[in-house]
Amino acid sequence: MSSTNQVQEPESDGNVYDEQLEMYPEFNRYQYGFYKDFAEADGIKWAGGGWSYEAIPEGLGDDVYFLAGEPYGAVVAYNEEISRDFLNAADAKGLSSDLCGYMVNYWGGLTQNKYVLPDGTVYDQFPDVDFNVNSHICCTHAKWYQKAGELEAVYTDPNGEQTPFFGVDIIGGPNAYDDEDLIEYNRVQIEQMIDWIQEVTGRTFDDARYIKAVKNEMWTMSTWAKVCALQKAHPAPLEERRMFSLYAPSIARRSTDEAPELYARLLEEVTDMVERKATVSGRQDFRFISDSPPPWAHLDIYRYIRDEYNAVSLGSLYSWGLTGAWRGFDGGDEWDWTPLDTPMERGIEIEDRDTAIEEMIKWNMRRPAWNVFGGHLEAKQKVTLAMAEEFDVDFVLMHLNRGCEGWALNQVEVSNYLKDHGIPVLEYEGNQADQRDFDPSKLRQKIDMFMEGRFNA
Amino acid sequence: MSKYTSEHYPEPALEEFRQFRAWVNDPHEYGRAWKERNDGGVVAFFCTYAPRELVYAGGLLPVRAYGGHTASEIAESDRHIYRGMWCPFSRDVLSQGLLGKYDYTDGIVMASTCLHLRQTYQSWSENVSEEGDFQHYFMMPHGAQQDGGVEFLASKLRETLQAVADYTGKEVTEDDLWEAIEVYDENRRLLREIYEFRKEDRPPISGLQALEMVKSSHIADPAEHNELLRSALAKLEDYDGPRRDPDYRLMHISSENDDRRFMYLVEEDLGFDVTVVTEEACVGTRDFWNTTTDTYADDPFMTLAERYLERPPCPNKDWPYRNRMDQISMLADEFNVDGAVLIAQKFCDPHLLDIANERDLLEDEKDIPTLELEFDASVPIGQFKTRLQAFVEQLQTDAVDMEALY
């Protein structure tokens, strides 16, 4: 690409620091747009988790709008005052704050009948949702939308009607994409879901639209992995604090026509940065990876550790593995953080519904995050260690995240494993979406003590 | 010495219930003795969704791993499980393994149920199990109401039975499995028949005894347990011994709860005549309320799969329709319940997800008062006693026709 980023001159070490990413505002525009559309556009509106088979409802038409619950929960959490109101409202209704932080924000917002955009704009009416769909990946996900529909009947639906809900039981784990029984179980449910969404919307499902959406999803996820893989470079072109914005569309709205196109442009720009040894950060005396979603109201912890110690987070199993497509255990027992080509690139033609369903299931089953939520300790240990080694990091920043049991699964064991392999781990307790459960000043003190040790080392 | 120990609990009138108590008092002694007697292996399971029939068909004894309910012991797992958000039961169970309490077991088996017990399984596998132990984890559908679930689970049960056969080195036939299914079906039928006596105005057994009866079914050889159940049932049908005489009939709705101290507190130490007459819990009705059917009579795997998916569900398998609420409603009606204690282990996501609906159902629809309690490894007797006394006093007040007074 003919980049306009050449304005920055290399420093004496040959690197270009503090580069502005051209695509960053494009991603923010896209993200803001789909949240706003969900509030204001006319058409089919459905809500569900970012783990959902998002491509399926695309078969209902061009006017389908999706609200992904976890990214939306993060948006709410990021807006600190609003989040506090929602969380307190949920508490007042007896909805436990020990549950998933995203979900409690979501439920609390429903009880207030309010909807929030990323810039903090608040609507005094939660959008009228046509149906809720979610994939049940942990103890929570299907239950989230089962309850959401009930709350919508009481607090948000003008007619007091419960939003219809369909759950897909997507249980998986390492090599789940090779498990024919599991694929068949998912296929049966998806066929059922296609019938169901036609029934609740009164629309006819269009295979061609669906197939296009499946391919879009694959291109988006594959390309995102290719962007993340560029973090192997020295200096790493991106830092995770900004990657959170770049990755968000891949979980929240990945199967539109625009999504893969955005990611392709992003890949082009970041590839160019690597060739020029450019980075959005300053000096990178320390490289680290994180683990688990961050406390969204306090992303400044990443800025603090960067500004004080020139330590940059490259990414995490969370930001790269939730929607990035990687080869993973394809090569055997050891994890490979090499991006996975799409089925189309591997010569698989997806031209009919059956093939689309099968390839979509396998593709989603490959998500590295399944190794976490599937509860397979050895897999998570290998995945994390491979990431630390392949990306040449100095330590791991581990968020013991009370806001998500799935990401917290096996964390302590992984921490033990990394330390046994000589990789320092800085653990801190917090909550991705409940600011009441996180102490930023205590973390800064902990970071200071830890980094002092790194300098001494 | 604290009165909250089994030697202070009222002695059951029936010898069968005294035996249930003895097994619960020392499950490990039972497990070791069983191995000696049978020259067989013992396999620990963590959740009642692990089909014991498959293990038993292979000549192994499945025993549920329980916590020790001792605050000092539970810290043993802190190096392996994040105590800040994992349920005390999952941590307590692992602690027992790490402390060597289950050193006589020969393996572990786990179906994918809640993430907390999956963590326990993984950490047990990594830190407690020894080379050569049987270790089997398999996918159990969460979508118990979904199409395709029975077929999928049946495929996993086939693999599990093969894993058992591979471990023992002996062929395990479908006939072996049918026999095991029959033994466990009988166990569940008998437990339910005995529960019928808890519906009586003056029940012959206490909630504590019922808890010990069900918990011991997770410890003892089911064939041996069945013998005692049959014997107890025969005696209960013509029973003229001491009975409970409750002024207040309570039920509890729980995530895992095997805490006898709690049951003793409720029934013996509140200063009121309270009896726990039923429960919706996995150490209770959730585990045994249904048996297999003849829908898939020619296929033991499909038969077993259907039974596990049709059982009263754990909350994380109860969607999109809320079958649990129907079950809770039925139990409250049939056992004539005056009040309900809603118990969730601290951080138990599945049950915390349902507790608001349980409260709405009982309070708003059925006019049954509720009390929510959060369990840790050990019960805070003093605090719970105050809250439970206030709750029962509230039931007392509710029983008075206030309008008539004015």
What are the residue boundaries of the structural domains of chain B, listed by start? 2-405
> CB contact, 8 Å: B231 with chain A?
no
How far away is chain B from the Cα of A428, in angstroms, using its nearest Cα? Answer: 11
In Å, how far are B51, B153, B215, B227, B301 from B292, measured between CA atoms?
Answer: 12, 15, 21, 20, 11
Contact yes or no for A246/A238 (Cβ under 8 A) = yes
In Å, how far are A91, A212, A401 from A437, measured between CA atoms?
Answer: 14, 42, 10
Determine the pLDDT at residue B397: 79
Mutate to test the interface with B, among A139, A147, A401, A413 (most CBs of B within 10 A): A139
Per-residue pLDDT at B369 exceeds 70 = yes
Per-residue pLDDT at A2 exceeds 60 = no
Mutate to test the interface with A, among B349, B365, B370, B376 (most CBs of A within 10 A): B349
Note the ipTM here. 0.95
Taking only residues 160 to 219 of chain A, the set having a beta carbon closer than 8 angstroms to any beta carbon of chain B reads 165-169, 171-173, 181-182, 184-185, 187-189, 192
Who wins on pLDDT, A2 or A437? A437
Query: Are B356 and A171 inside 8 Å of each other by CB?
Result: no
Instruction: Give tens-digit pLDDT for A65-76.
Output: 999 999 999 999
Residues of A whose CB is below 8 A from B347: 98
Name the residue among A84, A83, A64, A85 with its Cα closest to residue A73. A83
Per-residue pLDDT at B399 exceeds 80 = no
Determine the pLDDT at residue B18: 98
Query: Are A413 and B118 inside 8 Å of each other by CB?
Result: no
Distance CA B163, CA B236 (A): 41
Q: What residues have CB less than 8 Å from B137, skipping those under 6 apart? A: A375, B109, B110, B111, B112, B118, B121, B125
How far away is chain B from the Cα of A99, in angstroms, using its nearest Cα? Answer: 6
Confidence at B355, pLDDT banded by 50, 70, 90: very high
Determine the pLDDT at residue A3: 47
Taking only residues 144 to 203 of chain B, the set having a beta carbon closer than 8 angstroms to any beta carbon of chain A reads 146-149, 151-152, 155-156
pTM assigned to the model? 0.96
Separation of CA A281 from chain center: 22
Mean pLDDT of A40-60: 96
Per-residue pLDDT at B240 exceeds 60 = yes
Determine the pLDDT at residue A7: 57
Determine the pLDDT at residue A1: 44
Who wins on pLDDT, B174 or A10? B174
Confidence at B401, pLDDT banded by 50, 70, 90: low
Mutate to test the interface with A, among B80, B112, B122 (most CBs of A within 10 A): B122
Token pair belonging to A9: 């001159």
Query: Are A408 and B149 inside 8 Å of each other by CB?
Result: no
Residues of A whose CB is below 8 A from B81: 412
Distance CA B81, CA A375 (A): 13
Per-residue pLDDT at B398 exceeds 80 = no
Determine the pLDDT at residue A376: 85
User: Quick one: closest CA in A to B117, which residue?
Assistant: A375
Token pair belonging to B254: 């729980």
Per-residue pLDDT at A130 exceeds 60 = yes
Taking only residues 112 to 141 of chain A, the set having a beta carbon closer than 8 angstroms to any beta carbon of chain B reads 136, 138-140
Query: Are A139 and B115 inside 8 Å of each other by CB?
Result: yes
Mean pLDDT of A138-157: 96
Token pair belonging to B153: 């689970």
User: Quick one: closest CA in B to A173, which residue?
Assistant: B139
Distance CA A69, CA A168 (A): 15
Percentage, residues of chain A above pLDDT 70:
98
Instruction: Give tens-digit pLDDT for A7-36.
Output: 578 888 899 999 999 999 999 999 999 999
**Average pLDDT of chain B?**
96
Instruction: Give tens-digit pLDDT for A293-322.
Output: 999 999 999 999 999 999 999 999 999 999
Residues of B whose CB is below 8 A from A146: 319-320, 322
Token pair belonging to A46: 């459905």
Written as one string, the DSSP assignment of B276-296 is EEEEESTTTHHHHS----STT
How far away is chain A from the Cα of B297, in angstroms, using its nearest Cα? Answer: 22
How far away is chain B from the Cα of A232, in angstroms, using its nearest Cα? Answer: 31
User: Quick one: closest CA in A to B317, which residue?
Assistant: A139
Residues of A whose CB is below 8 A from B152: 181-182, 184-185
Alpha helix stretches (DSSP H) within B297-348:
300-310, 323-334
In Å, how far are A17, A172, B211 from A7, measured between CA atoms?
Answer: 11, 47, 75
In Å, how far are A317, B396, B400, B401 from B406, measured between CA atoms?
Answer: 66, 17, 12, 9
> CB contact, 8 Å: A312 with chain B?
no
Contact yes or no for B147/A189 (Cβ under 8 A) = yes
Determine the pLDDT at residue B1: 57
- Strand order of the β-sheet with A131-136 is A64-68, A44-48, A131-136, A165-169
Confidence at A375, pLDDT banded by 50, 70, 90: low
> CB contact, 8 Å: B112 with chain A?
yes
Residues of B whose CB is below 8 A from A377: 122-123, 125-126
Query: Are B114 and A139 inside 8 Å of each other by CB?
Result: yes
Per-residue pLDDT at B233 exceeds 70 = yes
- The partner residue sitting opposite A412, judged by closest CB among B81, B349, B352, is B81
Least confident among A151-155, A374-378, B53-57, B137-141: A374-378
> CB contact, 8 Å: B355 with chain A?
yes
Confidence at B206, pLDDT banded by 50, 70, 90: very high
Contact yes or no for A101/A433 (Cβ under 8 A) = yes
Residues of A whose CB is below 8 A from B82: 400, 408, 411-412
**Average pLDDT of chain A?**
94
Per-residue pLDDT at A45 exceeds 90 = yes
> Quick one: DSSP state of residue A230?
G
Per-residue pLDDT at A372 exceeds 80 = no
How far away is chain A from the Cα of B193, in angstroms, using its nearest Cα? Answer: 32
Taking only residues 351 to 370 of chain A, the set having a beta carbon closer than 8 angstroms to any beta carbon of chain B reads none
Q: Quote the Cα angle for A405-A384-A316, to 5°.
A: 70
Name the residue among A380, A253, A405 with its Cα closest to residue A316. A380
Determine the pLDDT at residue B400: 64
Instruction: Give tens-digit pLDDT for B111-149.
Output: 988 999 999 999 999 999 999 999 999 999 999 999 999
How far away is chain B from the Cα of A167, in angstroms, using its nearest Cα? Answer: 7
